[in-house]
């Protein structure tokens, strides 16, 4: 088993759960935390039994209250640059992972905490979740893609409002803005997330992998180029064993068992 100090890494029913585990600091992202999450994601990548990742926070209060503010005191340009690069590396690792990642937002997701949640594919919030790009309050701007990913997710009007004011919104508002996929009562949160993740883990892995890449890459391309990419991806998925299994299962009126091949 891998050794970690700041995260808990578990595997269950095809789902890997990475829990940020510094509840005394509201799971703030220090460089060590980020590097441990990146290391866990490398294991996820190598483990073909793992089909879905859940990223969440320990305790009842926070997913993550953002970058570690205490570590920023007296930070020079080189250290800030390193912190920015490490955080970006994590976000890119989440986006490029060929498996879906669910951010299970169990409380505050502020600043860098929200940015990391936005680099995940889906966001499930508990009723007590609170989200915001609060950097402005300490004289900063989002530095792990928040100005860009937030805008792509909810549009310029609301993105500017959140980034300029630093206000914290509740789970319901986040759902209305399209920032989270769903809101779940707090007492059913962990089990609902796991159930959702297990269902996702049973979907065809090749199709999910290609769909994730197409949606991410397509967002950066012209419609023409993106549609061409979709055709290529469709070709790949159509030649998968998973498709043959899906078709056979349909004809035989049974549940498909996908292998990711």
Q: Which range of residues in 25-33, 157-165, 196-204, 227-235 is near ligand DAK by CB under 6 A?
A: 25-33
Q: Which range of residues in 50-58, 131-139, 176-184, 194-202 is near ligand DAK by CB under 6 A?
A: 131-139
Strands of the sheet containing 108-110, edge to edge, are 62-64, 108-110, 130-132, 169-170
Question: Is 191 an annotated catalytic residue?
Answer: no
Nearer to ligand DAK, 36 or 135 (CB): 135
What gap in Å lies between CA 82 and CA 75, rounded to an integer?
11
* Nearest Cα to Cα of residue 114 among 86, 94, 136, 134: 134
* Nearest Cα to Cα of residue 142 among 112, 174, 177, 108: 112
What gap in Å lies between CA 96 and CA 212, rounded to an integer?
9
For ligand DAK, the binding residue among 18, 20, 28, 180 (CB under 6 A) is 28
40 scored as a contact of ligand DAK (CB under 6 A) = no
57 scored as a contact of ligand DAK (CB under 6 A) = no
Q: Is 217 exposed, middle or buried (0-12, 13-18, 19+ CB in 10 A)?
A: middle
- Binding to ligand DAK by CB under 6 A, coded x per residue (else -) over 188-227, reads ----------------------------------------
DSSP class of residue 29 equals B
258 scored as a contact of ligand DAK (CB under 6 A) = no
70 scored as a contact of ligand DAK (CB under 6 A) = yes
* Nearest Cα to Cα of residue 91 among 133, 37, 51: 37
Nearer to ligand DAK, 144 or 189 (CB): 144
Nearer to ligand DAK, 66 or 100 (CB): 66
Nearer to ligand DAK, 159 or 200 (CB): 159
**Contact criterion met (CB below 8 Å) for 23 and 57:** yes
145 scored as a contact of ligand DAK (CB under 6 A) = no
Provide, rounded to whole angstroms, the least separation between the CB of residue 164 and ligand DAK.
15
Determine the 3-state secondary structure of 18 from DSSP.
Answer: strand
Q: Please count the residues of this chain forming the interface with ligand DAK, following the rule CB under 6 A.
A: 24
Question: Is 115 an annotated catalytic residue?
Answer: yes
* Nearest Cα to Cα of residue 59 among 32, 28, 33: 28
Provide, rounded to whole angstroms, the least separation between the CB of residue 157 and ligand DAK.
22
What gap in Å lies between CA 205 and CA 261, rounded to an integer?
8
131 scored as a contact of ligand DAK (CB under 6 A) = no
Which is catalytic among the residues 32, 135, 175, 199? 135
Backbone angles phi, psi at 103, to 5 degrees: -85, 120
Under the rule (CB under 6 A), what is the footprint of ligand DAK?
Answer: 25-26, 28, 65-70, 80, 83-84, 87, 108, 110-112, 134-135, 137-138, 140, 143-144
Catalytically annotated residues: 115, 135
């Amino acid at each position: 088993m891998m050794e970690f100090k700041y995260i808990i890494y578990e595997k269950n029913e095809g789902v890997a759960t990475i829990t940020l585990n510094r509840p005394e600091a509201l799971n703030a992202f220090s460089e060590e935390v980020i590097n441990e999450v990146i290391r866990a994601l490398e294991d996820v990548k190598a483990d073909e039994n793992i089909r879905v990742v859940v990223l969440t926070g320990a305790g009842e209060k926070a997913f993550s209250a953002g970058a570690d503010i205490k570590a920023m005191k007296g930070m020079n340009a080189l250290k800030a640059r390193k912190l920015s690069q490490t955080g970006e590396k994590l976000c890119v690792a989440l986006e490029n992972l060929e498996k879906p990642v669910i951010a299970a937002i169990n409380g505050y997701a502020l600043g860098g905490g929200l940015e990391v949640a936005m680099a995940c594919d889906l966001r499930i919030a508990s009723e007590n979740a609170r989200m915001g790009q609060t950097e402005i309050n300490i004289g900063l701007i989002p530095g792990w893609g928040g100005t860009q990913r937030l805008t792509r997710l909810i549009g310029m009007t609301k993105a500017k409002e959140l980034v300029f004011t630093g206000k914290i919104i509740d789970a319901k508002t986040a759902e209305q803005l399209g920032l989270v996929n769903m809101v779940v009562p707090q007492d059913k949160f962990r089990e609902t997330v796991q159930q959702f993740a297990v269902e996702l883990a049973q979907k065809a892995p090749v199709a999910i992998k290609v769909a994730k890449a197409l949606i991410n890459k397509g967002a950066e391309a012209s419609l023409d180029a993106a549609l061409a990419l979709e055709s290529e991806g469709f070709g790949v998925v159509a030649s998968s064993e998973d498709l043959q299994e899906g078709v056979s299962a349909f004809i035989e009126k049974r549940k498909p068992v996908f292998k990711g091949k």
